[in-house]
């Protein structure tokens, strides 16, 4: 079935199907912003047992959560 819409939207959705995590993250956060987010998360998390927590924190900070997202992640890991 074919739906209406722009070719740009069609390409975006096709790329999203093929690379769901990579596409969204790369559009949200450029390499410098990712590095800044990683530094911010490391500041609040220190050494975490599971690297997935660090990656999730970086994603949340880049998604607009800012330092609050890093602080909240650190708080949640205390329990």
pLDDT of residue 76 exceeding 80, the answer is yes
| DSSP notation for 6-66 | -HHHHHHHHHHHHSHHHHHHHHH--HHHHHHHHHHHHHHH-S-SSHHHHHHHHHHIIIIIH
Task: Determine the pLDDT at residue 64.
Answer: 83
Question: How much is the average pLDDT of 52-63?
Answer: 88
- Tell me if the pTM is above 0.75: no
Model confidence band, residue 23 (pLDDT cutoffs 50, 70, 90): very low
């Amino acid at each position: 079935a074919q739906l209406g819409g722009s070719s740009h939207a069609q390409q975006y959705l096709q790329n999203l199907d093929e690379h769901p995590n990579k596409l969204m993250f790369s559009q949200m956060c450029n390499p410098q912003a990712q590095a800044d987010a990683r530094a911010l998360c490391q500041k609040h998390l220190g050494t975490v047992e599971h690297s997935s927590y660090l990656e999730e924190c970086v994603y949340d900070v880049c998604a607009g959560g800012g330092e609050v997202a890093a602080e909240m992640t650190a708080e949640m890991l205390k329990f």
